[in-house]
Amino acid sequence: MRLKVCGMKYQDNIEQVAALQPDYLGFIFYNQSARSFDSKNMTDLPKSIKKTGVFVNEDLDTVIEKINIYQLQAVQLHGEESPEYCNALKKRHSEINSESHHENLKQVLIDEKLEIIKVFSIKNEFNFDVLTPYEAVCDYFLFDTKGQLPGGNGFTFNWDVLNNYPSTKPFFLSGGIGVDEIENLKQFQQSKASTYCYAIDVNSKFEIEAGLKNIELLRNFKDTVITMNEERMKK
């Protein structure tokens, strides 16, 4: 399982977290979030870390603009974005990327496929039928906890629900995951529900304050994830 650290906000802290080499770093472009990223510049990250923009029901042109400005490699859609919206985003990114290279523009998009992560919220039950229209237009699903906010609510949902996951599309597991959930994660890893779990997404449980991550907690958690992966490979 890979690791995504979301809700990055402060430049020095971004550099510290990046030094831990997570697989994804998430930047929230949603002005109603306490973790909204509004810096004009973004620290250069190692190519192994995928910069992920998090959006909530955002205008398509704005998403494309942010992808271009910040050279995002992944987009996480946390609202009620339709399958048509996801498909349009893929097409627009592909078209602009192609045009920018042909015209040799100074500011070009990264020459690789844009990953689209569509978020779905769960509490104690979930109708997996809603996933079907998104299968062809998203690269990953992300399952988060249903709460008052689009994300960052700080508590977990019932992971047993994922035992009924009908798809083979890899997904991110999110929602209130912290050091207190390590034993639960180990149990989850041994369950049917984890078969297509591609990554763990963490945020609020590793914060000193909104957007400011505790480096030592993250380092220890990443070491735990590495150990879990090694044990999984042995089986």
- Residue 183, pLDDT above cutoff 80: yes
Which amino acid, residue 207? E
**pLDDT for residue 109:** 44
Domain ranges of the chain: 2-234
Say which DSSP state 29 is in: -
Query: In the predicted model, is pLDDT for residue 112 greater than 80?
Result: no
Two tokens, residue 166: 């009908």
- What CA–CA distance (Å, rounded) separates 16 from 158? 32
Using pLDDT thresholds of 50, 70 and 90, give the confidence band for residue 98: low
Greater pLDDT, 98 or 75? 75
The domain made up of 2-234 has a fold known as TIM Barrel (3.20.20)
Token pair recorded at residue 8: 């990055």
What's at 53, amino acid-wise? G
Whole-angstrom distance, CA of residue 171 vs CA of residue 217? 24
Q: Which pLDDT score is estimated for 234?
A: 80
Cα angle for residues 214, 139, 69 (degrees, 5° grid)? 60
* Confidence check: pLDDT of 79 > 90: yes
Q: Which phi-psi region, left, alpha or beta, contains residue 7 (left: φ > 0; alpha: ψ -120 to 50)?
A: left
With a cut of 60, say whether residue 126 has pLDDT above it. yes
pLDDT-derived band at 129, boundaries 50, 70, 90: very high
Q: In Å, how far are 140, 160, 176, 177 from 93, measured between CA atoms?
A: 17, 36, 32, 32
In whole angstroms, what is the distance from residue 89 CA to residue 101 CA?
18
Instruction: Tell me the C-alpha distance between 175 and 157, whole Å.
Output: 7
Spatial CB neighbours of 105, under 8 Å, sequence gap ≥ 6? none
Query: Looking at residue 152, what is its pLDDT?
Result: 53
Question: 85 phi and psi, to 5 degrees?
Answer: -65, -45
CB contact at 8 A, 228 and 1: yes
**What share of the chain has pLDDT > 70, as a percent?**
89
Residues 7-28 as b/e (b if ≥16 CB within 10 A, e otherwise) read: bbbbeebbeebbebebbbbbbb
